[in-house]
Every structure is written in structure tokens, then in C-alpha cells.
Chain A
Amino acid sequence: MFRYLPYLLVGILFGFVLVKSEAASWYRIQEMFHFQSFHMFGILFSAIVTALLSIQIVKRLGHKKALDGQVIDIPEKSPGTVSYVLGGLIFGFGWGLVGLCPGPMFAMAGTGSLGAMVVLAGALHGTWLYGALKQHLPH
């Protein structure tokens, strides 16, 4: 169990930030999609820049090992276009309506919001539906 502790701690930090930055707020998501504030764009851009710089540093260090001894590598996403664009459109459409993407769903469910738990239940069913229909979808 102890080896999972770092994941729990980092997960707690993530949930805490999502709520404190209001990235888990439906209001902030509407404001973002209408370009009425820099707040959400600032969060996303600075997160990407931080992650990008970190990855470049990790790469320059070369064959750096993780805490558990594995050599750090970043897997490439499988090539394709259709599934990424179509899947993104469907997800984004749902996100624009309900204002919660998967991270904030868990964080808001944690605050005790029954509505967020319903969204999460829906997301599980949507995921299952994808698994069931996978072979029939263009990828």
C-alpha cells in the first residue's frame, strides 16, 4: 500500500487546485468559451508551459529513473486524426454544456455535489458505450 501514497498525495493536490482555481466551476467554463476572461486560458497555458519545460529537462537529463526504478519515457499517442477530432468534438460539446471535464468531475463529486456524481455516472455509461461500439466507429 505504501507505494501508492505518492499518487494519493499528488492526487489530493490536483483536486485541491482544481477547486481553488475554480477550473471546476461551470461559470468559469462558460466565461472561457466566451473569451471573457484570461483566467482559464492563463491556467491552461501556464500548465502546458510548465509541463513542456519539465519534459525538456527530463529529456536532457537522459535515462533518468523514476522512484520505482523504471527508466522514464513518454509514450507516443497512436497516429490518427478522425477519432481525435470526433472524440474531442463530442467530449467538448458535453464539457461546454455541463462545465465539468473528468478531473473536475471527481473533485466536485468529492465536495459532495450530487449533481456532479450524476455527471460521473453518465460518464461511466458513456465510456462503456464507447467500448461496446468501438469496432463500428471510424478511427
Chain B
Amino acid sequence: MDWLIHPWPWYVAGPIIGLMVPLMLFIGNRSFGISNNLRHLCAITQPPTVEVDFFRYNWKEHTWSLVFVIGTALGGYLAGVVFADPNPVQLSRAAQDMLLSWGFLPPEGKLVPDELFHTSVRNFTFLFACGVLVGFGTRYAGGCTSGHAITGLSALQLPSLYAVLGIFGGGLIASWFLVPYMLVG
């Protein structure tokens, strides 16, 4: 049962993630993508008095998609809690040194750093703001890593290439010019 506990190498994980595309096609002719669910959740919770047109549609037709992300959360629970790996993320030496120089402690069995994720007003303000950027950006771009980088690129769709270049550019800017200074001051 060790394989349920230990981290999975890229050559196991990648192909499984790639198989999501044909699996969703075979199950019900669906395009694999996660960020549309954020829209569906807005459509479900939008009060009738608000009436933003973008969220006025029959979300019930997308129940399959919401069931998929409920599964994703359950899968996260199984992998991260039931079959949790107590060992720290095996980062490369270069990444370990870089993170230390930025003031982050080693991972110690956690996937996300306490420095940014443990409960505090400062952290939760930061996390919420980042979430706003991700939610706004994915909908503006019409997809996220799954819908564009995996489904779109594998279907050889040019708009997805534009989106992926944007995503990578944005990530580089944040990771090189902001993250190193986040814990300073």
C-alpha cells in the first residue's frame, strides 16, 4: 500500500492527468476543465435581485461538472489526510536554498507554507486577494491550467496557446519579483 502514501513521480501523475481529457469525452462528451465550476457556483448563489447576466443560465445542466469537483475535493481529502505522506516535499537543492533565502522554513510534510496559509488576518487577506486574481483571470481567459494548458493545447487550439503564454508570463513576474520579498517587513 506504500504507493498510496508516497508521492507519485511525474511520469505516473502526468499521464493520469492527461487521461482526464479522453475519460470526460467518453463518459459524456465533456471538455475537461475546472474553472467553469467557479462560474456555476456564482450562478447558484447569485441572489435574484443582483441579476448579472453572465450568471443567469441553467446551471443544473452543469451538475456533472460540479460533481467532478466534489470528487476532486474528496480525492484531495483521501490523498492529503487518509493517505497522507508524512515526509516533506522533495524539492531540488536549488529550490530549498532559494526558499530559505526568502525566509521560508523547509516544507516539513506540508504542501503549502504556514508562513502564508496559517490563520491570521494578514494571511487571509493575501489569500483572498490572490483568489480574486485567479478567479477573475481564469474567467477572463476562459479557462485555467486544465481547460487551456491541458485540454486546449492537446486539441491544438491557438487561443489556448495565448492563454498559456499569459499564464506563464504572469506566474514568472509574481514568482521572481514579488514572492522573494513577501516575508520581508
Residues of A in contact with B (beta carbons under 8 Å apart): 4, 6-31, 33-34, 36-40, 42-52, 54-55, 57-58, 66-68, 70-81, 83-103, 105-116, 118-132, 134, 137
Contacts and interface: CB of A to CB of B under 8 A. Distances in A.
Contacts, number: 506
Nearest to B152: A77
A96 B170 contact: yes
B8 A106 contact: no
B13 A103 contact: no
A123 B73 contact: no
Nearest to B132: A126
B17 interface: yes
Given A6-B27, A77-B159, A24 B76 contact: yes
A46 B9 CA distance: 11
21 contacts: A4-B63, A4-B67, A8-B68, A8-B74, A10-B24, A13-B71, A13-B75, A15-B75, A19-B76, A21-B7, A23-B13, A28-B91, A33-B172, A48-B153, A72-B29, A91-B140, A93-B170, A97-B179, A124-B135, A126-B133, A129-B132
Given A26-B113, A37-B95, A91-B141, A58 B25 contact: yes
A16 B78 contact: yes
A109 B131 CA distance: 13
B124 A118 contact: yes
A47 B17 contact: yes
B129 interface: yes
A110 B55 CA distance: 25
Given A14-B17, A66-B25, A93 B68 contact: no
A11 B94 CA distance: 34
Nearest to B73: A110
A48 B111 CA distance: 24
Interface string B71-108: 11111111111000100010110110011000000010
A52 to B, nearest CB: 4
A101 B143 CA distance: 11
A106 B34 contact: yes
A58 B77 contact: no
Nearest to B149: A44
B183 interface: no
Contacts of A85: 162-163, 165-166
Given A27-B95, A80-B159, A92-B168, A12 B131 contact: no
A37 B17 contact: no
B28 A70 contact: yes
Contact of B75 (A11, A68, A71, A93): A11
